[in-house]
Amino acid sequence: MSLDRSVTNSMPANRKKLMNRSKRRTGRRHPLATVALLALGLVFTGGAYAALSSGSVAQAEAEPTSQETIEEGKKLFQANCATCHGLDAQGNNGPSLIGVGAASVDFQVGTGRMPMQMQGPQAQVKPPQFTDEQVKQLAYYVASLGPGPDIPADHLVNGGGDAANGAELFRINCAMCHNVAGAGGALTEGKFAPALTGVSGVHIYEAMVTGPQNMPVFNDLNISPEDKRDIITYLKYVQDNRSPGGFELGSLGPVAEGLLIWIFGLGSIVAITVWITAKSN
Amino acid sequence: MSTATTRSTAPEKRSFTAAASEYVNDRTGIAVAIKGLGRKAFPDHWSFLLGEVALFSFVVVLVSGTFLTFFFQASMAEVEYDGSYVPLKGVEMSVAMASTLDISFDIRGGLFVRQMHHWAALLFVAAIGLHMLRVFFTGAFRKPREINWVFGFLLFVLAMAEGFTGYSLPDDLLSGNGLRIIDGMVKGIPLIGTWTSFLLFGGEFPGTAIVGRLYTLHILLLPALVVALIAVHVGYVFIHKHTQFAGPGRQPTNSVGPPILPIYAAKAGGFMFIIWGVISLIAAMFTINPIWNYGPYDPSPVSAGTQPDWYIGFADGALRLIPPGWEFVWLDRTWSFNILVPLIAIGIFLVLVVGYPFIEAWVKGDKREHHIADRPRNAPIRTAIGAAGVTFYAGLWAAASSDLLATHFSLTMEGVINALQATVILGPIIAYFITKRVCIALQKKDREIVLHGYESGRIVKLPGGEFIEVHQPLDEYDRWRLVSFESYEPLMIRPDARGKITAGQRLRASVSRWFFEDRIAPVTRGELEAAHSSHHAEVDTTHG
Amino acid sequence: MAQDDNSGVDLVAADSSHAEQEFAGSTGTAVIPRDAFENPGFEPHRPRVTDENPKREKRAQRTVYTLFYLSILGSVWAIAAYMLFPMESNDVGAVRLNNMFVGIGVTLALLGIGFGAVHWGKSLMTSAESIDIRHPISSTPATQQGAVEVMRQADEESGFSRRTVIRNSLIGALLAFPLPAVVLFRGLAPQDQLPVELLSHTMWRRGTRLTLDPSGTPIKASDVTIGSAFHVVPEGLAELEHGKLEEKAKAAVLLMRLEPSQLNPAPGREDWAYDGIVAYSKICTHVGCPVALYEQHTHHLLCPCHQSQFDVSNNCEVIFGPAKRALPQLPIAVDDEGYLVAQSDFNEPVGPSFWERH
């Protein structure tokens, strides 16, 4: 991320040209995008409420990098994270966090993966241990230690992009681990790519830029911010639009379909055969 | 009741029916068939309906498939999708994929028919599988039905081929990767593999020919074969008459059950509609093969959880279970045992399945016709062999979902695969011994019941102060169900006409010993009388 | 039982053509005890409730016709649903409703007939069982004799076994005539292609830029940060007139960047990477699925189809699963403008093994 900034600026324009050539824009916003926006609004309201009730000032939202926020974050960090990551985040049992950026902290702590409960193949999702406010404080403290990816802006994660482009990028870059419908999949030695249903746009974006656990990093030169927005748009589309065919069976593919036809299909039919051939009394 | 009303209300209708029947009969001689078949008996047992499940789901496949051919276009020409599904708009895809999406999203009821077609296909193969298990475990493949077993087996294979070709037609990412795997397997076949792959795909994979070719197979050649074989298969059922389970009045020389007209026609006809209804219900409620998620085929992406439909799963699982390193370069050529071993193992398995009736007949040397179905426990070795085969198949089948087993049961993928490798090799042996023991135990239990009656649960105090449980003796009908089976003994080797013992005889004798050394014979009259006299007091109590 | 055995023997007696009979005996190794039980004959007929209780009979009758009427209702509903739930363009939800309601109507129509008919058969139709007599499947000896006689006569009249030259030449002709039909199928594959040649080469040439799949944007070495995975196709793939997918099926590459110290290049491959950036064929050496699951910390690549695993830090050697060969590596370098380019084509055929590969 600390790479050549000039490249960063020139690339999306280049990409945009290619995109226009392939004419994938629909210019349509799904009605449920409004719902998603509302939900996001609620999340932020909840965050503000938590902030107020915990007695601190809700200004962190407006001025995230204020010295006060960073100080609060430092305290939280030293109390909760330093055992593994070191007092100054330089790494101890756990990795160094210098330069991982606010996005990484927001993802790891915001999804409850950190602090880790126990050692395992990979950190598990849990209910978050901190309020949104505290997560932000931690994030900006870590961000202050070295430059790294920031928490994405709202317009990139609200699902207002091009679902078709997002779907294609998702299939090429993500589906092999997360499954085409985002249902998740297995990795080696007990690790797995989690299901993406119910994961917020912000966290998906942050995961792409930071590459948590064994996930590769998808920096902005690989998948531009607009492309990331499109991927999130696609995932929201899949989540908001139930399958036209009926129940999805977990979107797990032929295995689930096979189980259904054997257990429910043939099972009910065998029950019926027993009824048909039973002597009526 | 209803026949009475028809009779009373419709004299002129009757005359019309009579005239119509006469007209038809004068030109077809159909009366022979109705007189001959109309009152034929069809033995009644739930498991005898499984083949019908396959037949009726095939009808759904045929009818829904015909509807789909009006809309599906089997072309791999590239188009830009412009249908209703937003996340695919503007995406380059083959005409086949685009037309399948149109069937799903832009033709009313199209998705319903498509889902019916696919669900019915899954049910078709599943029902064939279950039907084959029924025929196997009841010994219904014995003379004179061995050839019909072979026809049924061919239908099973054809059904899988129909399924796979159909699965590949939409040219989506999932089926495209399935074809990619087929291509890789074909290329691994020695000598002819590379060329076969080129012939199949019309050049390099994926080419632009395969969907059209599979379509021809899927809607023309394979269905024609399936229909022809079904006709032969069902024709033989009429010629042989259906088997029946042992029961009072059931003889090897008769066939007892409700007559085809009217009861069987009502039940089987009704059953046909029920099967159709169940398929339609599933199609209305459950998504199958959501190609809109998978997107068009592209050789670069792949989805986690890429699996074939269930009936190909055992082959995919076999590929997954091969340990690393089973490929060699020898004589300047590549020998891909990681592909050959699964192919050969599956080949041997299928040959054993189709050949089993002939093996069993050879071991027994029994040349009689058999029309009384065995209870599985009364043929312990056959049942145990069947259980071993089922375990082997199930192990391979489970292996095809190794990744999903790992994620859903929080296991490691490597652990699942290693465990299934062990299952496929040791599982059949364990299943064999357990099943054999269970069968023999059940047979012994049957003997106990015949000799001493059911445990009635009633405790009686005898004058001497002794407590005994009253055993309820069987009536002669129930007893007959438990004693009317035959047991076989191991073959004694005898020299042939020239005073020699051939190697074939020796082999047959040892296989026969393996089959029949632990035999439990049915209770005879003498044994029952002996049991009665030794438990005189007890018998008296129960009679009193 | 004795009765059974006798009849069994009868069946065998009709089938006297078996030579083995003298040996194994008609019943093989079956044991037929002398004092086996006898078949007690049919159980007495047990009447049903509907046979005895007119009220229950009425009720069953009502159930049956109600089910048939329900079926009609279902059919009507399915047609109505077809019209009531049109498929709005771009709305997946409308498709879902159409599918479900049409389906439920059809289901009701089918199940109504089905359950009605079965219930009619079970509770109202006379429940007497019919008895068929089985006859041996084999034809009677007289018929067999007749058939043999017909064949003998045909043979004599045609001279089929006498005129051996005619017969054998006919057999030869019959064997030869399908061969042209088999040869015609050669046309399934193009006439002018050499499979081995095609399988051994890809689009990659010296200096071909590595570009992003699907946009075709060239990639600078500096774009590829540590832990990244880029899905790569050769420059110009999208512009191909023909064979786009065929080329992509061979040329797809996964680009990853590790710490240079984490790479252990095989002898001769030291300069195939650029500053920790390595490019490997994405096509599995087992049966050709895309091996695209990259774990950035373990540096393992996993194939989702058959679970072969490859170690990127160790030349993509196989560490688990059915694949044998390492994934082929694409030697890369950087051009004057800083873009990643191929040094050459792959040094070996990519993808699944084939017979002529060595």
Domain boundaries along the sequence of chain B: 1-37, 51-245+252-294, 312-444, 445-543
Q: In whole angstroms, how large is the CA radius of gyration of chain B? A: 29
The parts of chain C modelled with pLDDT lower than 70 are 1-26
Matching CATH number, A56-150, of 1.10.760.10, 3.40.50.300, 1.10.3720.10, 1.10.10.60: 1.10.760.10
**What mean pLDDT do residues B497-516 have?**
88
* pLDDT score for A30: 55
Cα distance between residue A254 and residue A251, in whole Å: 9
In a domain, C302, yes or no: yes
pLDDT at C25 (0 to 100)? 42
Which range of A99-103, B222-226, C92-96 scores highest in mean pLDDT? It is B222-226
Q: Is C265 on the interface with A (CB under 8 A)?
A: no
pLDDT: which is higher, A10 or A70: A70
Specify if C42 maps to a domain. Answer: no
SS3 content of chain C, % helix, strand, coil (to 5): 40, 15, 45
Does the pLDDT of residue B538 top 60, yes or no? no
Quick check: B70 pLDDT over 90?
Answer: yes
The pLDDT value given to residue C352: 95
Higher pLDDT, B538 or C103: C103
Find the helix or strand (DSSP H, E) in which A228 lies. helix A225-240
For residues A34-58, average pLDDT: 45
Q: Among A100, A106, A107, which Cα is nearest to A133's? A: A106
Q: Mean pLDDT throughout A43-53? A: 44
Residue A185's SS3 state is: strand
Task: Tell the burial category of A95 from Cβ atoms under 10 Å away from its Cβ (0-12, 13-18, 19+).
Answer: middle
Residue A273 has pLDDT above 80, yes or no: yes
Task: State residue C26's pLDDT score.
Answer: 62
Q: Rounded to 5 degrees, what angle do the CA atoms C195, C198, C204 make?
A: 165
Does a structural domain hold residue C349?
A: no
Residues of chain B neighbouring A188 (CB-CB closer than 8 A): 412-414
pTM of the predicted model as reported, rounded to 2 decimal places: 0.89
- A217-220's contacts with Cβ under 8 Å and 24+ in sequence apart are A217/C225, A217/C226, A217/C227, A217/C228, A217/C229, A217/C296, A218/A173, A218/C228, A218/C229, A219/A1, A219/A3, A219/C223, A219/C225, A219/C228, A220/A1, A220/A8, A220/A11, A220/A12
pLDDT at C2: 32
How far apart are the two ends of chain B, measured CA to CA in Å? Answer: 45
**B-contacting chains (≥3 CB pairs under 8 Å):** A, C
* 3-class secondary structure, C162: coil
pLDDT band at B149 (very low <50, low <70, confident <90, very high): very high
Q: How far is B319 from chain A (nearest CA, A)?
A: 16
Residue A177 distance to chain C (closest CA, Å): 6
CB A132 within 8 A of CB A151: no
Q: Residue B479: left if φ>0, alpha if ψ -120 to 50, beta else—which one?
A: alpha
User: How many domains does chain C fold into?
Assistant: 3
Whole-number pLDDT of residue B4: 45
Q: Lowest mean pLDDT: which of B29-43, B96-110, B212-226, B433-447?
A: B29-43
C-alpha angle A164-A169-A172 in degrees, rounded to nearest 5 = 130
Residue-level pLDDT at B148: 97
Residue of A nearest to C47 (CA): A281
Range of the domain at C170: 141-184
pLDDT above 70 as % of chain A: 77
Q: How far apart are CA B399 and CA B415, in angstroms?
A: 11
Q: State how far the Cα of C66 lies from the Cα of B535, in Å rounded to an integer.
A: 57
Whether pLDDT at B314 is above 50: yes
C8 or B528, greater pLDDT: B528
Handedness of CA C135, C141, C145, C146 (dihedral sign): negative
CB-based contacts of C69, cutoff 8 Å, min separation 6: C112
Whether B276 sits inside 8 A of C31 (CB atoms) is: no
At B231, the amino acid letter reads A
- Rounded CA-CA distance B125/A262 in Å is 10
Compute CA distances B460 → A143, B468, B470, B540, whole Å. Answer: 86, 5, 7, 12
Residues 6+ apart with CB under 8 A from B3: none
Is the domain of C178 the same as that of C272?
Answer: no
Distance from C-alpha of B329 to C-alpha of B357, rounded to nearest angstrom: 40
A-B C-beta contacts closer than 8 Å? 207
- Nearest Cα of chain B lies from the Cα of A186 at a distance, in angstroms, of 5
Q: Alpha helix (H) ranges present in B365-469?
A: 380-399, 402-408, 413-452
Q: Where are the beta strands (DSSP E) in chain A?
A: 185-186, 192-193
Residue B215 has pLDDT above 90, yes or no: yes
Residue where a domain stops, chosen among C73, C89, C124? C124
Residue C1 within any structural domain of the chain: no
- Mind telling me how many Å the CA of B401 is from chain A's nearest CA? 7
Chain C residues near residue B524 by CB distance under 8 angstroms: 33-37
| E strands, C134-176, in order | none
**Beta strand pairing call for A185-186 and A192-193:** antiparallel
* C303's tokens: 């194939």
Query: Which residues of chain B does C61 touch, with a Cβ-Cβ cutoff of 8 Å?
Result: 1-2
What are all long-range contacts of B449-458, with beta carbons under 8 Å and residues at least 24 apart?
B449/B474, B449/B482, B450/B474, B450/B479, B450/B482, B450/B483, B450/B523, B450/B528, B451/B523, B451/B527, B451/B528, B451/B531, B452/B531, B452/B535, B452/B538, B453/B542, B456/B542
pLDDT > 50? residue A171: yes
In terms of C-beta distances under 8 Å and separation of at least 24 residues, what long-range contacts does B446-451 make, across chains too? Answer: B446/B377, B446/B482, B447/B520, B447/B522, B447/B523, B449/B474, B449/B482, B450/B474, B450/B479, B450/B482, B450/B483, B450/B523, B450/B528, B451/B523, B451/B527, B451/B528, B451/B531
Per DSSP, the three-state class of B31 is helix
The four Cα atoms B243, B246, B249, B253 give a dihedral, to 10 degrees, of: 40
The nearest CA of chain A is from the CA of C67 a distance in Å of: 16
Q: What CA–CA distance (Å, rounded) separates A110 from A170?
A: 23
Instruction: Give, in degrees to the nearest 5, the angle at Cα A9 between A6 and A12.
Output: 140
Q: How high is the ipTM of this complex?
A: 0.91
Q: Find which of A20, A171, A187, A280 to mutate to test the B interface (most B CBs within 10 Å of its CB).
A: A171
pLDDT at A60 over 60: no
- State the pLDDT at residue A21: 43
Res B365 pLDDT > 80: yes
Q: Hey, which residues 368-427 in chain B have their CB within 8 Å of chain C?
A: 368-369, 371-372, 402-403, 413-414, 417
Instruction: Give the Cα separation of B231 and B225 in Å (integer).
Output: 10
The conformation of residue B80, written as its DSSP 8-state character, comes to: E
- Given an 8 Å threshold on Cβ–Cβ distance, is A216 in contact with C50? no
Task: Give the nearest partner residue to B194 out of C101, C137, C356, using CB atoms.
Answer: C356
Spatial distance between the Cα atoms of B58 and B222, rounded to a whole number of angstroms: 13
Query: Could C295 and A168 be called an inter-chain contact, meaning their C-beta atoms sit closer than 8 Å?
Result: no
Q: Across residues B16-22, what is the average pLDDT?
A: 90
Per-residue pLDDT for A187 more than 90? Answer: yes
pLDDT score at B536: 54
Q: What are phi and psi of B128, to 5 degrees?
A: -60, -45
C-alpha B508/C-alpha B485 separation (Å) is 23
Domains in chain A: boundaries: 1-27+152-241, 56-150, 249-281
Identical fold between A1-27+152-241 and A56-150: yes
Contact A173 C46 (CB under 8 A): no
The pLDDT value given to residue B13: 53
pLDDT of residue C245: 94
Instruction: Give the CATH number for residue C312.
Output: 2.102.10.10
Beta bridge partner(s), residue B327? B336
> Which range among A73-77, A257-261, B2-6, C241-245 shows the weakest confidence by mean pLDDT?
B2-6
Residue A46 banded pLDDT, cuts 50, 70, 90: very low
Mean pLDDT of the residues in chain B: 92
Nearest-angstrom CA–CA distance, A223 and C213: 10
CA distance between the termini of chain A: 79
pLDDT, average across residues B296-306: 93
Residue-wise pLDDT for A206-253, tens only, equals 999 999 989 999 999 999 999 999 999 999 999 999 899 999 998 899
Provide the pLDDT for residue A37. 52
Interatomic CA distance for residues B443 and B483, integer angstroms: 10
Classify domain A1-27+152-241 at the CATH superfamily level: Cytochrome c-like domain (1.10.760.10)
Shortest Cα distance, chain A CAs vs residue C117, angstroms: 11
**Are the C-beta atoms of B248 and B477 separated by less than 8 Å?**
yes
| Higher local confidence (pLDDT), A70 or B427 | B427
> Per the CB < 8 Å rule, is A19 touching C215?
yes
Tell me which residue has tokens 């937003």: B86
In whole angstroms, give the CA distance from residue C297 to residue A216: 9
* pLDDT of amino acid A33: 53
Mutate to test the interface with C, among B244, B486, B487, B514 (most CBs of C within 10 A): B486
Asked whether residue C354 is domain-assigned, the answer is: no
pLDDT of residue C12: 35
CATH number (2.40.40.20, 1.20.810.10, 1.10.3470.10, 3.30.70.2740) of B51-245+252-294 reads: 1.20.810.10
Q: Which of B429, B441, B434, B428 is nearest to B378 (CA)?
A: B441
- pLDDT score recorded for residue A72: 87
Strands C300-302 and C309-311: antiparallel
Domain match, C318 and C205 both: yes
How many CB atoms lie under 10 A from the CB of residue A12?
A: 16
